[in-house]
Chains A and B, each alone.
Chain A
Amino acid sequence: MTTYEPNMVIVGEKFDVVGTRPVRHDGVDKVTGRARYSADSFPNGLLIGKVLRSPHAHARILSIDCSKALALPGVKAVVTADDLPDVSAEIADLEEGAAVNYGFYSRNVLAREKVLYKGHAVAAIAALTSHEAEEALDLIEVKYDVLEPVLNIDEAIRDGAPVLHDRLLTQSSVLFRVGGWGDEPNIPSTNLAMKIVSTEGDVEKAFKDSDVVVERSFSTKAVHQGYIEPQATTAFWDENDRINVWCSTQQVFAFRDHVAAILDVPVGSVTVNPLEIGGGFGGKGQGGVYLEPVAAVLSKKSGHPVKITMTRSEVFKGTGPTAATKIDIKLSANKDGKLTAVKAKLMFDAGAFPGSPVAGGSRTMLGPYVIPNAVVEGWDVVTNVQKSSAYRAPGSPSAAFAMETVVDEIAKQLNIDPIEFRRINGAKEGTRQPANGPVYRKIGYMETLDAAKNHPHYSAPLNHKNQGRGIAAGAWFNFTGPATAIVSVNADGTVALVEGSPDIGGSRAAMAMQVADVLGLKSEDVQPSIASTDSIGYSSGAGGSSVTFKTGIASVEAAEDIKIQMKERAAKIWDVDVNDVEYDKSKIKHVSDPELKFEFRELAAKLNGTGGPIVGRATVNPGGVGNAFAIHIVDVEVDSETGKVEILRYTSIQDVGKAIHPSYVEGQLQGGAVQGIGWALNEEYFFNENGDMLNSSFLDYRMPVSLDLPMIDTVLVEVANPGHPFGVRGVGEACLIPPMAAIANAINDAIGIRMNELPMSPGKIVKSLREI
């Protein structure tokens, strides 16, 4: 029997460096203020840019007159959509099942024919100081023909609704999920950009034959990733038409590609130089290009580097939150506890341009289960609000909120413990994901359920009548992608690791530790850094919980490459057959002659004189991704007078495959849980009838603070992913899937009410209490 302690790790395989908790390599810079984030670049001759944003949610742009603004002293350049090429609607594949249509992407960066949400960028100014640029914004004269906006899904899909895009077709495949804009003129347009359906078995018959059927409807609001660092970018377009961009991005190479496409310049003329990222959570990922092309054109026109930094209000109004949703679910089971059928309809609010994560939500919500009959329908709807963007496990938290509360209700009706119910129906190696999904390879869901059931939290007594406990599950598939790593041996026996995938929360240390483990070195003997797009091979970015997996494999293979070359070098020095040389921990030695051996450090010192330096390299695009499963347990107390929900205790349990640096894996789980608590209880975009976001500050968009919370306990369950040399599964997203449902289920346990809307704010709780 395991003895539980806070933040415990149920350890799988043990390694020398992997699984330990060294100080991270970039840590000192970050506790001393030296680390350079996106707003911290100050090249010589820097101008400051500011963006003019639309005051209307929906309007046609009739004219833009910048002459007065340009005449203001200190103003050096102005940009509108006329300065960007009218790029085609070509679709580019992105990661995490996303795609982009550059016609739309470009129009989100700077509005062209129409403004489509309040906060949509219309023009920008570069001036000597930010205050001068701000003054100049007031002098830009834009004439609008104001149109009626559609601000939510219901308005957008009703008959006769105003349409956002002149030529938008409803697509029926995820492959075309970014809409059919751009081809033929004169087609009847729509706000329904995509409708996808996946079917398996006979749902209607199964409902008829089942012992219990529960049918519920849910809705969730847009919420923001809430990274503390606002978007900022500095660009310099030089006389040779080389464009350098310094910014914080989760996608260094994809940003380069998108900037080049939007500016219609060769990819090779753009260099993206990654700076430290002050939080991203998806918002600085594939869809995160807002300022870069704008700053680049301002730079071209002014001949100076230009920096644009968003204010917090601009971050809320001008970047993508996650999609608001409406979800209907019908679920059935038999008395033996077996789920029989599910029918779900998910409608996601993509915002101004198509491309919500509805496909991801539709699939992951059923991920923890085996259900023989399923119909899942997903809608992607455009409305006059911010273009939605990725937020940690895109699409899944809202979908799981719906699914996991219905599962809880069915389990209660059948009088089966909710963890046991999930065991009965749980996904295992070899089971197929519902609605004709893929078959699971090795996964650790059962082990995760067991760890939850055995955790003392699950059986601890609750002390008050308004207290309740809830659990919920989450599945996330995790992603992969191309990645490059280069390891160079230094003469002192240390190595330098250069990688192309950015670090959004400590992954650099995880890469270095994998290299150290392979080479038999210490973590601090490996110096990791993230390179610019000119300094390393193509690398996909930090998204889909993929970096520690894919870039980890690249790092491991680059380290293996070093081993081979070190053996070859030793063989050459000793004049022996390389097959008689072995690499053992940090030693290179001859298999039979005990005299012939080098410490890594000794051989490293001899490289230059014996044939030259040694550099290991690897480029990969690995398969073998390991899916992640999580169970969260939460205790709440509901104040029935005020409706306030207090989180009393929280435990996040997840199969992480192998925790390379357990502290930072725990940090992912803890941070995910707290983002989920905010999403569950407080956070929402609050619009008035004109599409104005009324709470665009951290005062009014209230994210959890330390005082709102208890300690967040974690259990890391290590069921190795056979597709990674150390067993890694991605960890950063599964942990934001269960919280909302777990809290809703706990509220139900406390006061007997089923909440079907997020956020479950005090007003809504009081209202629901009055209704019973």
Chain B
Amino acid sequence: MTTKTHVQTTINGEPVDFLCEPRQSLLECLRDVIGLTGTKEGCGDGNCGACTVNIDGRIVTSCLVLGVEAQGASIETIEGVADGTNLHPIQLAFLEGAALQCGICTPGFIIATKALLEKNPDPTEHEIRFWLANNLCRCTGYDKIVRAVQDAAKRMQEA
């Protein structure tokens, strides 16, 4: 049995401590150790974006971050996007715009979109496509995702 490390983080605003092996990825820690399974694994090697989370204001693919690296970090996952029972405007835009089919890519897209709109509240279609190019979706052809991001931008500006 490998010795485990004690890691202290803030996840979705709450303090969370966990034990992990040095070889475990943050994705593994979130899903298998902490039980936050909303973050998805599509590839495990940084190429699909399904595992996207926000660490200290930057989006990363959590399969490429080690659990131990999260010491002291503030992490946002899909479970923290809604405000209690109030869905975030991005979630509403995805939902009402049918921007998901199977939905496995959706958590990653929502986390990535949130970071985009916080940085750039009124992105062009090209900026949206460029920003989301790390996130694979095999179902939608991206059309309704791009439209949902545009719609979310509008909702957030109006809010």
Q: Which of A36, A131, A667 contacts B23 (CB under 8 A)?
A: A131
Beta-carbon contact of B102 and A277 below 8 Å = yes
Q: Is B35 an interface residue (CB 8 A)?
A: yes
Q: Is A1 an interface residue (CB 8 A)?
A: no
Beta-carbon contact of A671 and B138 below 8 Å = yes
Chain B residue at minimal CB-CB distance from A27: B95
Beta-carbon contact of A671 and B37 below 8 Å = no
With A and B bound together, what is the CA distance between A311 and B48 in angstroms? 13
Q: Digit string of B11-52 for contact with A (CB within 8 Å is 1, else 0)?
A: 000000000010110000001100111111111110110100
With A and B bound together, what is the CA distance between A27 and B102 in angstroms? 10
Beta-carbon contact of B140 and A32 below 8 Å = no
Beta-carbon contact of A699 and B98 below 8 Å = no
Q: Is B67 an interface residue (CB 8 A)?
A: no
Q: Which of B128, B129, B140 contacts A670 (CB under 8 A)?
A: B140
| A226-B101 in contact given A36-B37, A39-B41 (Cβ < 8 Å) | no
Q: Which of B2, B129, B144 contacts A707 (CB under 8 A)?
A: B129
Q: Which residues of B contact A39 (CB under 8 A)?
A: 31, 37, 40-41
Beta-carbon contact of A228 and B138 below 8 Å = yes
Interface residues of B in 36-84 (CB under 8 A from A): 36-45, 47-48, 50, 77-79, 81-82
Q: Is A281 an interface residue (CB 8 A)?
A: yes
With A and B bound together, what is the CA distance between A505 and B38 in angstroms? 18
Chain A residue at minimal CB-CB distance from B36: A33
With A and B bound together, what is the CA distance between A672 and B140 in angstroms? 8
B81 to chain A, nearest CB (A): 7
Q: Is A229 an interface residue (CB 8 A)?
A: yes
Beta-carbon contact of A706 and B45 below 8 Å = no
A654 to chain B, nearest CB (A): 14
Beta-carbon contact of B101 and A671 below 8 Å = yes
Interface residues of B in 102-136 (CB under 8 A from A): 102-107, 110, 125, 128-130, 132-136
Beta-carbon contact of A37 and B133 below 8 Å = no
Q: Digit string of A20-56 for contact with B (CB within 8 Å is 1, else 0)?
A: 0101101110111111110110100000000000000
| A229-B102 in contact given A34-B38, A699-B47 (Cβ < 8 Å) | yes
Interface size bracket, A side: 35 or more
| A698-B43 in contact given A674-B141, A709-B141 (Cβ < 8 Å) | yes
Q: Which of B21, B40, B139, B144 contacts A37 (CB under 8 A)?
A: B40
With A and B bound together, what is the CA distance between A42 and B32 in angstroms? 8
Interface centre among A33, A39, A674, A711 (most CB of B within 10 A): A33
Q: Which residues of B contact A227 (CB under 8 A)?
A: 102, 104, 138
Q: Which residues of B contact A280 (CB under 8 A)?
A: 102
With A and B bound together, what is the CA distance between A23 and B98 in angstroms? 8
Chain B residue at minimal CB-CB distance from A312: B43
Beta-carbon contact of B78 and A32 below 8 Å = yes
Q: Which residues of B contact A663 (CB under 8 A)?
A: 97-98, 144
A39 to chain B, nearest CB (A): 7
Beta-carbon contact of B50 and A228 below 8 Å = yes
With A and B bound together, what is the CA distance between A711 and B94 in angstroms? 16
Interface centre among A30, A73, A671, A699 (most CB of B within 10 A): A30
With A and B bound together, what is the CA distance between A757 and B2 in angstroms? 51
Q: Which of A21, A230, A279, A312 contacts B138 (CB under 8 A)?
A: A279
Beta-carbon contact of A699 and B45 below 8 Å = yes
Beta-carbon contact of B133 and A23 below 8 Å = no
With A and B bound together, what is the CA distance between A672 and B101 in angstroms? 12
Interface centre among A26, A227, A671, A706 (most CB of B within 10 A): A706
Beta-carbon contact of A667 and B140 below 8 Å = yes
Q: Which residues of A contact B143 (CB under 8 A)?
A: 666, 670, 711-712
Chain B residue at minimal CB-CB distance from A673: B141
Interface centre among B39, B130, B141 (most CB of A within 10 A): B141
Q: Which residues of A contact B31 (CB under 8 A)?
A: 39-40
Beta-carbon contact of B37 and A711 below 8 Å = no
Chain A residue at minimal CB-CB distance from B137: A228
Beta-carbon contact of A276 and B101 below 8 Å = no
Q: Which residues of A contact B21 (CB under 8 A)?
A: 131
With A and B bound together, what is the CA distance between A675 and B138 in angstroms? 7
Q: Which residues of A contact B37 (CB under 8 A)?
A: 33, 36, 39-40
Q: Which of A225, A277, A709 contacts B129 (CB under 8 A)?
A: A709
Chain B residue at minimal CB-CB distance from A707: B133
Q: Is A506 an interface residue (CB 8 A)?
A: yes
Q: Which residues of B contact A673 (CB under 8 A)?
A: 141
Q: Which residues of A contact B135 (CB under 8 A)?
A: 705-706
Q: Which of B38, B42, B91, B98 contacts A24 (CB under 8 A)?
A: B98
With A and B bound together, what is the CA distance between A27 and B144 in angstroms? 15
Interface size bracket, B side: 35 or more
Beta-carbon contact of A278 and B104 below 8 Å = yes
Beta-carbon contact of B102 and A276 below 8 Å = yes
With A and B bound together, what is the CA distance between A664 and B105 in angstroms? 16
Beta-carbon contact of A670 and B87 below 8 Å = no
Beta-carbon contact of B45 and A230 below 8 Å = no
Q: Which residues of A contact B128 (CB under 8 A)?
A: 706
Q: Which residues of B contact A705 (CB under 8 A)?
A: 132-136, 142
Chain B residue at minimal CB-CB distance from A31: B91
Chain A residue at minimal CB-CB distance from B147: A711
Q: Which of B2, B35, B79, B97 contacts A32 (CB under 8 A)?
A: B79
Q: Which residues of B contact A346 (CB under 8 A)?
A: none
Q: Which residues of A contact B41 (CB under 8 A)?
A: 39, 230, 309
B114 to chain A, nearest CB (A): 12
Beta-carbon contact of B40 and A229 below 8 Å = yes
Q: Which residues of B contact A21 (CB under 8 A)?
A: 98
With A and B bound together, what is the CA distance between A504 and B103 in angstroms? 10
Beta-carbon contact of A706 and B48 below 8 Å = no
Q: Which residues of B contact A131 (CB under 8 A)?
A: 2, 21, 23-24
| A32-B144 in contact given A279-B104, A311-B44, A697-B43 (Cβ < 8 Å) | no
A694 to chain B, nearest CB (A): 15
Beta-carbon contact of B78 and A33 below 8 Å = yes
Q: Which of A505, A670, A697 contacts B144 (CB under 8 A)?
A: A670
Chain A residue at minimal CB-CB distance from B39: A33
Beta-carbon contact of B129 and A506 below 8 Å = no
Q: Is B100 an interface residue (CB 8 A)?
A: yes
Q: Which residues of B contact A309 (CB under 8 A)?
A: 41
Q: Which residues of A contact B153 (CB under 8 A)?
A: none
Beta-carbon contact of A312 and B44 below 8 Å = yes
A37 to chain B, nearest CB (A): 6
Q: Which residues of B contact A664 (CB under 8 A)?
A: 98, 101
Interface residues of A in 664-712 (CB under 8 A from B): 664, 666-668, 670-675, 697-699, 703, 705-707, 709, 711-712
With A and B bound together, what is the CA distance between A173 and B97 in angstroms? 47
Chain B residue at minimal CB-CB distance from A664: B98
A4 to chain B, nearest CB (A): 16
A334 to chain B, nearest CB (A): 39
Chain B residue at minimal CB-CB distance from A30: B103
Chain B residue at minimal CB-CB distance from A33: B38
| 29 A-B residue pairs with CB within 8 Å | A31-B94, A32-B87, A33-B36, A35-B103, A36-B37, A42-B35, A131-B2, A227-B104, A228-B105, A228-B136, A276-B102, A278-B42, A278-B103, A278-B104, A281-B138, A312-B43, A312-B45, A667-B98, A670-B140, A670-B142, A670-B143, A697-B47, A698-B42, A698-B45, A698-B136, A699-B47, A705-B135, A707-B132, A711-B125
Using CB atoms and an 8 Å cutoff, list the residues of chain B in contact with chain A. Answer: 1-2, 21, 23-24, 31-32, 35-45, 47-48, 50, 77-79, 81-82, 87, 91, 94-98, 100-107, 110, 125, 128-130, 132-146
15 new A-B contacts, CB < 8 A, other than A226-B138, A698-B48, are: A23-B96, A27-B95, A36-B37, A225-B138, A228-B50, A228-B138, A277-B102, A278-B102, A278-B105, A279-B139, A281-B138, A505-B139, A699-B45, A705-B132, A707-B129
List 8 A-B pairs, minimum CB-CB distance, nearest first.
A33-B38, A278-B104, A30-B103, A670-B141, A663-B98, A33-B78, A674-B141, A698-B47
Using CB atoms and an 8 Å cutoff, list the residues of chain A in contact with chain B. Answer: 21, 23-24, 26-28, 30-37, 39-40, 42, 73-74, 131, 225-230, 276-281, 309, 311-312, 504-506, 661, 663-664, 666-668, 670-675, 697-699, 703, 705-707, 709, 711-712
